[in-house]
Structures are given as structure tokens and as C-alpha cells.
Amino acid sequence: MHSFIFPIITALLLSTHPALSFPTHLSLHPRTDYCANAPNVVAGTLLSARSLRLPTRTTPTTRVVGATRWCAPNSRTYIYVTLIAQTAGPAIRNLLNAALHFSEDYIILMGDRVMPAEGMNYIPVDGYRVMFANANNHQITWGVYGAALVALMQFMDAHGWGPAVFRVVDGSNAVATGVVKRVLPESGGS
């Protein structure tokens, strides 16, 4: 009986040896988040203009572009953006340009300050609106707002212009959420 058990124990030990030799450290380390527009740059670190790789869209796409991490140039700000649909580009491009110019003018006049507690609801342009709201007990500044708008415009320039939802991260802090959406006309009747 003992002569039969010894080979079984030996076979079990030999069969478990390869399982013990596999590295376990791969699943223990968190994955690093890289920018979609600069694949060698970790999101939340300073993105220099040299590291920036702006893909160009060759053909329009009708599909939804899922959550993408897009970094703003010369900034530690990045966005997670989901493009919901593609619409006429000029309307949204005009809206985002107007909002960006407003933030730049505000910084020139008042300095880079924290935005109002209720966030920013930019006046509709061509039937679309962009809205930002503070998130995670943080407040967005006008400079981060502008960087997020630049990142959003670069993303849409590469993937198409349309309604989108996004989250703004500055360094390692999620500071705001936002949306670009169509404004429904108000009804004039009773």
C-alpha cells in the first residue's frame, strides 16, 4: 500500500510545481492610465505639446465613441469623454469656441479663480449647450475649465462633433462632470 501512495504524492507535487512558478505580481499592480492622444503619457501628469499626437479623422463615424481618456496640452487636466452621437460639427464647434473664449477673457479680467458652486451652464449657441458641475467635493477653476474645453475640442476634432458626457480630472482629482447637449426649444403656448 505504501508503494502505491508514494508515486501518487510525487505526481501531485510535480503537477503543482508549474502552477507555483507563474508570476502573481501582474494582477497585484494597478494599471497605469495613459492618454489616448499621447499613448506614452500617464494621465494626470504634465502633457507637453511635443508628446501630443493628434489623430485625424479620415471618415465620419456614426458609432458611439466609448469612454476615452483625453489629455489637455500643457496641462495636468484630462477628461473621460463619451461621444453620444455625431451631429453637425459647426454648431458644437462654435459653442465650445465661445465657451473657451469666455473662460480666457474671465481669467484675463479676474484671474484664475474657482468657478461658482453651481458650476457653469454656458449660454446656448446654435441650439446646443455645454454645462459643467463640480464633483467629488472639489471645485473646478476657470483654468481647468478652459483646459477641459481644449481637450474636448481636440477629442471631437479627431472623433466627430456631437453631444457628449464627460468627467474632468485635474492631476489625480475628479473635479467636475459635464455634458454637451441639444437645447430643446421652449413651448410658447399654455
Whether 15 maps to a domain, the answer reads: no
Dihedral angle over CA of 5, 9, 10, 12, nearest 10: 140
Whether 150 maps to a domain, the answer reads: yes
Q: What is the pLDDT of residue 1?
A: 54
Whether 47 maps to a domain, the answer reads: yes
Bigger pLDDT: 125 vs 133? 133
Q: What is the pLDDT of residue 66?
A: 76
What is the rounded distance in angstroms from the CA atom of residue 35 to the CA atom of residue 37? 5
Backbone angles phi, psi at 82, to 5 degrees: -125, 120
What is the rounded distance in angstroms from the CA atom of residue 111 to the CA atom of residue 115? 11
Would you say 157 and 54 are in contact if contact means Cβ atoms under 8 Å apart?
yes
> Which tens digit of pLDDT belongs to each residue from 24-55?
444 444 456 878 877 777 777 666 555 555 55
The Cβ of residue 100 has, within 10 Å, a number of other Cβ atoms equal to: 20
List the single range of 13-17, 115-119, 162-166, 169-173 with lowest mean pLDDT.
13-17
List the single range of 40-44, 57-61, 85-89 with lowest mean pLDDT.
57-61
- pLDDT, averaged across the chain: 77
Residues comprising the chain, all counted: 190
> Which tens digit of pLDDT belongs to each residue from 100-125?
999 999 999 999 999 887 777 777 77
Judged by DSSP in three states, 185 sits in coil
Hey, what's the cell of 44? 494626470
Number of compact structural domains in the chain: 1
Q: Strand locations in 37-149, DSSP E?
A: 38-42, 65-71, 77-83, 120-121, 128-134
Whether 160 maps to a domain, the answer reads: yes
Hey, what's the cell of 68? 476615452
- Find the domain containing 57 and state its range: 30-182
Whether 119 maps to a domain, the answer reads: yes
> Looking at the predicted structure, is the pLDDT value of residue 152 above 90?
yes
Whether 63 maps to a domain, the answer reads: yes
Whether 16 maps to a domain, the answer reads: no
CA atoms within 13 A on the CB side of 85: 4
Whether 9 maps to a domain, the answer reads: no
